[in-house]
Amino acid sequence: MLHRVMLQNILRVIIYKKIGVLNVKSCNIFQFTYLNIIIHIIINMSNHFSMGAINKTTNQYEYPKIANKINKYKCPSCEKDVIFRNGKIKQPHFAHYKSDNPCYYYDKPNESQIHKDAKLLMKSLLDNKKNIYIHRSCNYCEQINCGSNYSKQINCGCNYCEQINCGYSECFDYESYIFEDNYNDNTKAVIEYKFNYNNSKKSADVALVENDKIKYIFEICYKNKTREENRPEPWFEIDAEKLINKINSGEIIDEDGNISIECIRDYKCDEYIKYEENESIKRKLYYEKLKQDRIEKERQEKIRKENEKIRKENEEKGRQPCNCGIMILNICICENPKYELVKLSNNLFCINCSKWKCRCK
């Protein structure tokens, strides 16, 4: 909403200059009306969905890029007649006639309507036997140089440790082609195709089927993605909004009519899978090293405590007097003592260690 307001303000400034006014207060009623009409047209152009319609003669779905003003069309949602517009300002699109009970399929489509239109569009592309190129890129390669703690701290000297920051920047795209050879008289595109998989009933948004056998599955995603384990290969997931807009703008159609569609499945390329396996080894080595460091630290702490206990015991023992009355702590234990007689106490004093000779010996 904020971006829409900002866009309106920017457009007003531009148009003010074009029509030679400084602000709204200086506009006359005609200039003000003209200004708001232009802004309304431009804003609505930026938010318009190029939804398709049903050809009333063939009862087949047609998207704006291939529609024409000769045919008669009806809305896929309310089934009321619609008009095809192909002017110079807006890109080709369908619109409802004015009604007291309006349908917003083309103006403000909801999630289910966008999902439905994208399914009809995908089926139409397959029914018309279009050459389709499906591509997808790895979603994870950018995460490889993530700088995790174990990749920084461990230095075990293995080859992988030297390669950890090898700097993968790109991955090989997964590619699949659906060409004319994939279509024959027994091939058909089916919306909401029912099938069994992994002992449960499933439904594909669009399936290309040959003799009741699935060749390809196309899941149409607007907000919620399909779980990877719920579909048999080969299957593709396609962004509904991008498919509708890019097909009708011609952005993904080349000069020969071939169509390039992005698959948005949660894909990992072979390079990343190798990296992930090596990263798992590295993580295991890192946490193993942490475990060994912890064990060694606990062992050293145990030794320290035992030595401290012995020291305190010896210190306590040294404070006790010998039978001769001299404190054990102060008794000379030199191997080669050098004694002198202290006449005052009549005891022998060792010059080497500054302690006394035990009189019990």
Residues of the chain with pLDDT under 70: 1-48, 139-175, 315, 317-321, 325, 328-329, 361
Beta bridge partners of 94: 84
Look up residue 247 and give its two tokens: 């097909």
Q: Are 90 and 47 in contact (CB under 8 A)?
A: no
Q: At what angle do helices 2-19 and 29-47 cross, to 10 degrees?
A: 140
Instruction: Say how far apart CA 203 and CA 231 lie, in whole Å.
Output: 9
Q: Are 143 and 271 in contact (CB under 8 A)?
A: no
Q: Are 243 and 257 in contact (CB under 8 A)?
A: no
- Strand positions, DSSP E, the chain: 53-55, 61-62, 73-74, 81-85, 93-96, 132-136, 174-178, 187-197, 200-210, 213-221, 235-239, 259-262, 339-342, 347-350
Q: Are 319 and 327 in contact (CB under 8 A)?
A: yes
Beta bridge partners of 327: 321
Q: Are 190 and 126 in contact (CB under 8 A)?
A: no
Instruction: Say how far apart CA 10 and CA 3 lie, in whole Å.
Output: 10
Q: 192: part of which helix (H) or strand (E)?
A: strand 187-197
DSSP 3-state percent helix, strand, coil across the chain (nearest 5): 40, 20, 40
Phi-psi region of 251 (alpha: psi -120 to 50; beta: other; left: phi over 0): alpha
Number of H helices, E strands in the chain: 7, 14
Quote the Cα angle for 158-161-162, to 5°: 95
Instruction: Say how far apart CA 319 and CA 286 lie, in whole Å.
Output: 49
Other CB atoms within a 10 A radius of the CB of residue 183 amount to: 20
Question: pLDDT of 219-250, one tens digit each?
Answer: 999 888 888 888 998 899 999 999 999 998 88
Look up residue 273 and give its two tokens: 């899978």
Quote the Cα angle for 339-345-346, to 5°: 55
Question: pLDDT of 75-114, one tens digit each?
Answer: 999 999 999 998 877 788 999 998 888 999 998 899 999 9
Closest CA to 46 of 81, 94, 7: 7
Q: Are 195 and 202 in contact (CB under 8 A)?
A: yes
For the chain, report the end-to-end CA distance as a whole number of angstroms: 101
pTM score over 0.75: no
Look up residue 44 and give its two tokens: 């609505």
